[in-house]
């Protein structure tokens, strides 16, 4: 990646982060999605999410940190938004749970999980005398 692309990406990320931090809710009534990085980013900002029953969203969001709708109609989206924003205590609980769930998908958590798996297979990674397993050639 060239330096100008990296700077451009950083500016876009900063702008998106600022928009998410200023928001009260993240709404993604999608017909299809892969993993949904934007949803994880929104959860990380403590935003309840309104989304559809696709991909991992039903398991990720459930009824704990937002609303998963079955139909993408404007009426269903509006009802879900009202549900999230209509009760201050419910909103606070959803927001806290959103941030908690997002931590499970952080790069730090991923790093720690991968390290634990490697150490389970190879032993301590901090042992200076440890040798990496040899590669098998086919």
Q: What's the mean per-residue pLDDT of the chain? A: 84
Q: pTM for the complete prediction?
A: 0.71
List phi, psi (to 5°) of 127: -75, 115
The b/e string for 88-110 (b: 16+ C-beta within 10 A; e otherwise) is eeebeebbebbeebbeebeeeee
Measured in degrees and rounded to the nearest 5, phi and psi for residue 28 equal -135, 80
Could you tell me if residue 108 is inside a domain? yes
Q: Return the minimum-mean-pLDDT range out of 36-45, 82-91, 125-134.
A: 125-134
Q: Work out the average pLDDT over 112-128.
A: 84
* Domain-located, residue 75: yes
pLDDT higher than threshold 80 for residue 64: yes
Domain interval for residue 42: 17-120
Domain count, the chain: 1
Q: Does the pLDDT value for residue 93 go beyond 90?
A: yes
CATH of the domain at 75: 3.40.50.2000
pLDDT of residue 12: 55
The mean per-residue pLDDT over the stretch 36-48 comes to 91
110 within some domain: yes
Position 12 in a domain: no
Domain-embedded: residue 95: yes
The stretch 2-22 carries a mean pLDDT of 61
Q: Is residue 100 part of a domain?
A: yes
Sheet with 49-52, strands from edge to edge, namely 26-28, 49-52, 66-69
| Domain membership flag for residue 138 | no
Any domain includes 125: no
Nearest Cα neighbor of 66 from 75, 74, 82 is 82
């Amino acid at each position: 990646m060239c330096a100008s692309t990296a700077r451009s990406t950083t500016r876009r990320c900063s702008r998106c982060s600022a928009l998410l931090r200023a928001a009260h809710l993240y709404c993604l009534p999608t017909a299809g999605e892969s993993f949904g990085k934007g949803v994880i980013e929104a959860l990380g900002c403590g935003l309840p999410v309104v989304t559809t029953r696709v991909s991992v969203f039903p398991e990720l969001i459930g009824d704990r940190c937002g609303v998963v709708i079955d139909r993408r109609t404007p009426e269903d989206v509006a009802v879900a938004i009202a549900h999230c924003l209509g009760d201050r205590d419910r909103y606070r609980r959803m927001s806290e749970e959103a941030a908690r769930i997002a931590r499970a998908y952080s790069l730090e958590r991923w790093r720690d999980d991968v390290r634990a798996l490697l150490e389970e297979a190879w032993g301590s990674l901090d042992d200076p005398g440890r040798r990496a397993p040899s590669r098998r050639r086919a």
